[in-house]
Amino acid sequence: MTLVILAAGMGSRYGGLKQIDPLGPGGEFIIDYSIYDAIRAGFDRVVFIIKKENHQIFEETVGQRVRGAIEVRYAFQDINDIPAGYTVPEGRVKPWGTAHALLCAKEAVDGDNFAVINSDDFYGRDSYEKIAGFLKTAKNDGKQHYCMCGFILKNTLSENGHVARGICTEDENHMLTSITERTKIMRNDGQTQFYEDETGWTDVSEDSIVSMNMWGFTASFFDEIEKRECAFFDNLKNPLKDEFLLPVMVDETMKAGDADVTVLQTMAKWYGVTYHEDKETVQKFIADCIADNVYPGGLWK
């Protein structure tokens, strides 16, 4: 199985390349802990999706230190890598989004069942174990079968500002039925709410199941993305900002009847560095995990 890590984005709110900001006592990044947990769950290959200009710094840091434990490959997201017959809109500098990034990794994944995660999110070992268990038995029987780790919203909030989450609904069999992207969720005076321009602040249950962009796919998902890529470029509403997003692609494959998605609920608490102020919280959490013997002090030693 392959772990695909989306690491091509820069953290504009954080103010730097947060994916390689040391957080562990041995200079480890969040990525290191993700890979360590994935290896423990049975993954044997990692693919970093990055900007080509960041290749050397990734290899000199996390790449070279995990090579002894897992196979390492790279894929490069390039704004110019779009279908034949299309051109990049003048003035476009923003990457094309997570579905586009994932498609850049098709050759590196090389037919494996695979999980997809964000580089700057700490998901917890339980999440990797559950997604690995699904992928080990996932088959293509005429309909695609995917999975998603479902987190409890209250376990994924930042104390330092708003976050973006996909609010999920599922049926009685824990099959995903919809994802509604909420780009601004936070606690206001003790109440968790999301903000939309049309309606302002609206209450949302802290027990809602949310997507943290942790998915499990069979290799056939690349075909589903390719089938829909041209339609995305044909229907650009804001050529400078529109993004080809992974959750949207999942939703479209479900609605078309091409796939179903099992929600694997986890009680794991998410940690991430959405804001610079989050760093101290993550460092303390990692230190506590080391004290509890969840992780060794020197992760790769």
Residues 33, 125: contact at Cβ < 8 Å? no
pLDDT tens per residue across span 41-59 = 999 999 999 988 888 888 8
Q: Is residue 297 part of a domain?
A: no
Query: Tell me, what's the pLDDT at 197?
Result: 84
Model pTM score: 0.91
- Exposed/middle/buried for 281, CB within 10 Å: 0-12, 13-18, 19+? middle
CATH number assigned to the domain comprising residue 247:
3.90.550.10
Cβ atoms of residues 166 and 246 within 8 Å:
no
Q: Is the pLDDT of residue 17 over 80?
A: no
Residue 103: inside a domain? yes
Q: What is the pLDDT of residue 108?
A: 96
Number of separate domains in the chain: 1
- Residue whose pair of structure tokens reads 């710094």 in the numeric block: 57
Q: How do residues 96-154 score in pLDDT, each as one tens digit?
A: 999 999 999 999 999 899 999 998 889 999 999 999 999 998 877 778 899 999 999 99
Q: Give start and end residues of each alpha helix (H) in 212-245.
A: 221-234
In-domain check, residue 104: yes
Mean pLDDT of 194-222: 91
What band does 13 get if pLDDT is binned at 50, 70 and 90? very low
| pLDDT classification of 11: cutoffs 50, 70, 90 | very low
Question: Does residue 233 sit within a domain?
Answer: yes
* Of the candidates 18, 20, 93, 39, the residue with the CA atom closest to the CA atom of residue 243: 93
Give mean pLDDT, residues 282-295: 93
Residue 159 lies in a domain: yes
Q: In this prediction, what percent of the chain has a pLDDT beyond 70?
A: 96
Residue 122 lies in a domain: yes
pLDDT in tens, 231-263: 999 999 999 999 998 988 998 999 888 899 999
pLDDT at 26: 86
Asked whether residue 1 carries a pLDDT value surpassing 50, the answer given is yes
Percent of the chain with pLDDT over 90: 59
Asked if pLDDT for residue 86 goes beyond 60, the answer is yes
**Phi and psi at residue 248, in whole multiples of 5°?**
-65, -40
Query: pLDDT at residue 275 above 60?
Result: yes
Q: Say if residues 84 and 41 touch (Cβ distance below 8 Å).
A: no
- Asked whether residue 12 carries a pLDDT value surpassing 60, the answer given is no
Q: Is residue 250 part of a domain?
A: yes
**Phi, psi (degrees; rounded to nearest 5) at 186:** -165, 170
- Sequence-distant (≥ 6) Cβ neighbours of residue 283 within 8 angstroms: 23, 24
Report long-range pairs for 287-295 (Cβ below 8 Å, ≥24 apart). Answer: 287/25, 290/25, 294/125, 295/24, 295/33, 295/36
Identify whether 300 is part of a domain: no
Look up the domain containing 52 and give its range: 2-291
162 φ, ψ (degrees, to nearest 5): -80, 160
